[in-house]
Structure 1
Amino acid sequence: MAHLVGASLSIPGSAWSPPQEENTEAQVVYHVRATRGYPAGRVRILCNDGTDVWWDVTKLPEEWITTMPNQAPVTPTAQTPSRTARRSAAAAPAAATAATPGTTGRPRASSRGRRPSRAATDGYDSSGVLLSDGEGAAAAAAPVTGSRSARSRSRSRSTAKAATPLAAATMSPAAPVVSLGKGGASGVAPLDTGVLSGDEPPATGVRQRGRQRKSLRFAPGTISPGGVAAAVSASPGGAAAFGAAHDSAAAPMSPLMSPRAADAYGDISAGLEAYEMEEAAAKGFSSEPPPLHWTRRVRSAALIVLVTLPALYYFKVLQGGPGGCSAAQWKAPLASVWATANGGGLASLLSADFWCALGYQQPLLAVNLVFFLNIDVLFWIISLLQGSTWLIDPFWQIAPMMIGLFYQFHPLAVTHPLRSRLAMGLLWIWAVRMTHSYFRREEWQVGAREDWRYARMAQRYGRRSAMWALVSFFAVGVTQQLMLVGITLPLLAIHTSPAPWNPVWDTLIFLVAAAGIMTSLTADNQLRVFMLENQKRRSAGLDPVLLLDTGLWRYSRHPNFFGEQLWWWALGGWALLLGQPWMLVGAAFNSLCFFPITWMTEARMLERSERRPFYQYYQSTTSMWVPWPPKASA
């Protein structure tokens, strides 16, 4: 890539971490040949503000290059290439259209006496897809198998991939590359840059010390545009076959994509989304999150604790005692407190008298108001600042547990002890199961990514747009409140009624609720085993299984969804038994929300053409939710 030396660049602010407000003007001053970790090599970039960085050529889009140096092709120096590079050079006339320059042998010592890295250090997997409660991960376990053997050999021998359209041009003065304009991969066009070489004479560059440095890492979730050229050259039939193999109109974006990166790369749509799907397939459509540094893990865990403190503090104060609400505050007329505290109106929200009277006299209204302020508003502000809605995911387990404890230990709580203990015991089991499932899916870390559905919505509206700010407030906040507060309404009925234990109906409700939790647990574990087995098959060079249709998944396409719904409807059975049938509205609303979730999940399963006929047959023979014997189909 020595032809890049001297090129002028305009690096968008979204490419830096943390993102910058303005573009950065820079110049390429040096180039290092390809290694295993950097198949196209790296370039040294000196920015106008004094920042001196090394940059992976695979992540240097053509649109950043403002001017190219007017120089003749540079002849190789006397540097000794690796054995693989020499063999590749000897075989170049016969494999000019399939080979990619690079080195696969033992890494050479760098100019500073250190060996180059064997792996790229970005730490981000553009194929990371967050799956709701394990569902949809069956899609993650089904990669494209047409070129599996080639990819397997590539991984086992650490064969370097083509990096950028500029790298693809090293084989010939008119090597075909994909044109990446605003329309994405628009076809094949020659790039007349002259014959290039994997080993180029170094250019002179002075490393700037004592200056502020930007991170080498790209904005999370971005991919190399040049990978499209590599995918085209590796695909039988070239660009046409590559496009046919990835005919999805809605390729998944990475949930890790930051708002600035999404805006910067959103216009490279067709080709890059197709290539991202190919990369995801090559990696087994991995749903593994990117590894986070321990400092970020600590910050995310600390944030989860901090955002719960307002609700916990209110719960403690409401219990009374030293520093808590007094009997006079509990029993003060709520209407008069609202009219007089702190001048009345919204200003009364800053009064302890109002919160004591509200929590004591209207526990359901207090739960909704605390949820709105503590989760809807606070989480929304945090999501806009962080550019991610990840925080709502762990609170799907935490919020119902906190609401249940609020009802159970309310000063006016009255209940049958056995019914209360069984209901709260099941809620604890559900919360522990969901929390374990969440952390297991996230590789025991938090804050790495957000739900893929919210990521797609953010991509559709533009994460930095005012429309997404408005939509996210209702879709991520208010909707969650309606679901989480709604499905926990039966717990309020349980702790406000001393009705005696009914040996038949109470026992039946308990057994059905426990069966729902166990169904979800079993389905998730079967899916987990399926994914692990496919990982072993890929490691052994075998084709992965495209579809999970055994165990509970033989009788239902979404048995974990069914188990989740069964648990909440059974819990609602206690509200019906205690004379509060209106409280079933929460379970009904939750089920209505699961219909579009199911449709979105199945649409993702059908996006990959090689899996589509299998899953369509699976849809025609297998029940969507309720487990039922599969029916015959032509």
Structure 2
Amino acid sequence: MTLTLTALGLLALFAAAWWLAVRVDNYSLVDVVWALSFAPVAVFYALADGGWGPRRTAIAVLVAAWSLRLGIHLWLRVAGHHPKEDPRYDLLRKKWSSNMRRAFLWFFLAQGVLVWLLMLPVHLICMQRHQAFAPLEYVGLAVWFIALVGEGVADHQLARFKRANKDPKAICDVGLWRCSRHPNYFFQSLLWWGLFLMALPTPWGWTAIVAPLAMLHFLLNVTGVALNEKLALEKRGASYRQYQKTTSVFVPWFRKST
């Protein structure tokens, strides 16, 4: 019942977000709603599931903290650029021009389905009744904190670079961005591997593998790396091709010499 109620709530939320995005004519709103939607789902699972109280509280606080940080970060970015959309959605507008509103409705609803899948590990963790943290949970917690800090640092470095460099063709290659072309996406993916490790000691915990795999697919192949690489090449041309030759696409690594 908990999973069903969550699914219905998320579909309703993203349908409402689509309606609002159509009214303000800015589909970038989906990024903000997507990020912020994890917090209420985590709190709901913590309250509705019957696992050990300290574990439920800890996971709700962790996920809500990440959700609110990312959601506020994205809201400031979207609001600061409104009515101009993120270039990804401008590209999707052109791609779906023949039936744009309906296509975006399905896209928004798909984000709700993705949130539901990604939160399966949290549901399993909140159902775990064992009254002590397992060693694997501590490992997962460490991975989660590393990823949380890494994503925050990457976002901060990119925002600071954009404030200091007004040239729209400038390439951020400082800090973590010197080791990866998409460090924010890498650490966002790593968050869910941490949750997967925390869910593994629970009954049926292995099924939580669907969450990090779904996140990885979404980040690499949907509106993450692939789309951003295409847009960056169109916008920055040869300078970005050079950046591609020297810098890892996803996993932070040593730069190559050319």
**TM bucket by the smaller chain?**
0.7 to 0.9
Which residue number in structure 1 is paired with residue 232 of structure 2? 605
Cα deviation code 1:147-170 (max 9, x no counterpart): xxxxxxxxxxxxxxxxxxxxxxxx
Equivalent-residue separation in structure 2 for 1:427 and 1:492 (angstroms): 12
Conserved 8 A contact 1:519-1:560: yes
Larger gyration radius, structure 1 or structure 2:
1
Letter in 2 for 1:506: E
- Cross-structure match for 1:583: 208
CA drift of 1:509 comes to 0.8
Match in the other structure for 1:470: 102
Mapped to 2, the partners of 1:516 and 1:415 lie a distance apart of 25
Residues in 1 aligned to 2:132 and 2:250: alpha-carbon distance in whole angstroms? 32
Task: Work out the CA distance in 2 between the residues paired with 1:604 and 1:508.
Answer: 37
Q: Equivalent residue for 1:511?
A: 142
- Superposed, 1:341-420 pairs within 5 Å as 362-372=1-11, 374-410=12-48, 413-420=49-56
The correspondence of residues 78-89 of structure 1 with structure 2, limited to 5 A, is: none
Q: Tell me the TM-score normalised to structure 1 length.
A: 0.38
**d(CA) in 1 for partners of 2:121, 2:194:** 10
> 1:460 — aligned with what?
95
Which residue matches 1:531?
A: 162
Contact 1:554 1:622 in 2 (8 A): yes
Which of 236, 241, 245 is equivalent to 1:620?
Answer: 245
User: Does residue 632 of structure 1 match 2:234?
Assistant: no
Q: Deviations over 1:454-488 (max 9, x none)?
A: 332223333xx5x22332122222x2022111111
Gaps of 5+ in 1: 1-361, 539-543
Q: Structure 1 residues 476 and 517 mapped into 2: Cα distance closer, same or farther (>3 Å)?
A: same
Instruction: Give deviations 1:549-580, integer Å, cap 9, x for gaps.
Output: 22111111110001111112211222222132
Higher strand share: 1
Higher helix share: 2
Shift of 1:493: 0.6
Counterpart contact for 2:43–2:64, Cα < 8 Å: no
Question: Cα deviations across residues 12-48 of structure 1 (Å, max 9, x unaligned)?
Answer: xxxxxxxxxxxxxxxxxxxxxxxxxxxxxxxxxxxxx
Report what 1:161 is aligned to: none
The one-letter code sitting in structure 2 at the alignment partner of 1:584 is I
Q: TM-score, normalised by structure 2?
A: 0.88
Provide the secondary structure at the position in 2 that maps to 1:505. Answer: helix
One-letter amino acid of the counterpart of residue 2, structure 2: P
SS for the counterpart of 1:394 is helix
Residue in 1 that maps onto 2:118 = 487
Q: 1:525 to 1:405 in 2, by over 3 A?
A: same
* Structure 1 residue 396, shift from structure 2 partner: 1.6
**Deviation at 1:409?**
1.0
* 1:439 equivalent among 75, 85, 88: 75
Q: Name which structure has the greater RCO, CA cutoff 8 Å, separation 6+.
A: 2
- Matched pairs, number: 255
Q: Does 2:60 match 1:424?
A: yes
Output the CA distance in 2 between the equivalents of 1:471 and 1:391: 15
Asked whether the 8 Å contact 1:485–1:586 carries over to 2, the reply is no
Kindly indicate whether the alpha-carbon contact (under 8 Å) linking 2:114 and 2:214 is maintained by their aligned counterparts in 1: yes
Q: Deviations over 1:207-228 (max 9, x none)?
A: xxxxxxxxxxxxxxxxxxxxxx
Q: Could you tell me how far apart the structure 1 residues matched to 2:94 and 2:241 are?
A: 28
Contact 2:117 2:210 in 1 (8 A): yes
